Amino acid sequence: MLVSLSGAVRAQPFVAFGNATADCGAVVAAIAGERAEWARQGQTQQANQIYTRAYAGIFGVVTGVMTGANWQSTTPIFGPMNILSRMLFIEQHCTRNPLDTLMSAIYALEAAEKQR
């Protein structure tokens, strides 16, 4: 079941599974690990290449929630933008709010998108 991020539906209880339950500390660590692997491989940051399982899990949750929210919405919540920009937003949110969860960071991204 996909859960819309809109306020009316989000207020309903739902259960997150797997990487969706990650805390922000794990998110920041996964992103740092991915960057270290990029450097080791001599690569620059790219949206089409993922080196670590931890980052793949986080990336999958973020893109999956964004896709599900857009699918359920009559007007897309997440418009066209480079996914790396959104991942940077998630990282910055988690760095500033280490006790938050990945889902909280995605909700913050949703709020920022609505203000654009």
Taking only the tens place, the pLDDT of each residue in 28-55 is 999 999 999 988 888 776 656 888 999 9
First and final CA of the chain: distance in angstroms?
28
Over residues 54-63, mean pLDDT: 92
Report helix, strand or coil for 103: helix
Does residue 11 belong to any structural domain of this protein?
no
Q: Who contacts 17 (Cβ-Cβ below 8 Å, separation ≥6)?
A: none
Any idea what the Cα angle at residue 55 is, between residues 27 and 89, rounded to 5°? 55
Does residue 85 belong to any structural domain of this protein?
yes
Does residue 81 belong to any structural domain of this protein?
yes
Does residue 8 belong to any structural domain of this protein?
no
Does residue 9 belong to any structural domain of this protein?
no
Q: In 10 A of CB 19, how many CB atoms?
A: 20
pTM for the full predicted model: 0.79
Query: Into how many domains does the chain fold?
Result: 1
Q: Which residues pair with 101 in a beta bridge?
A: 23
Does residue 99 belong to any structural domain of this protein?
yes
Does residue 1 belong to any structural domain of this protein?
no
Domain hosting 84: range is 23-115
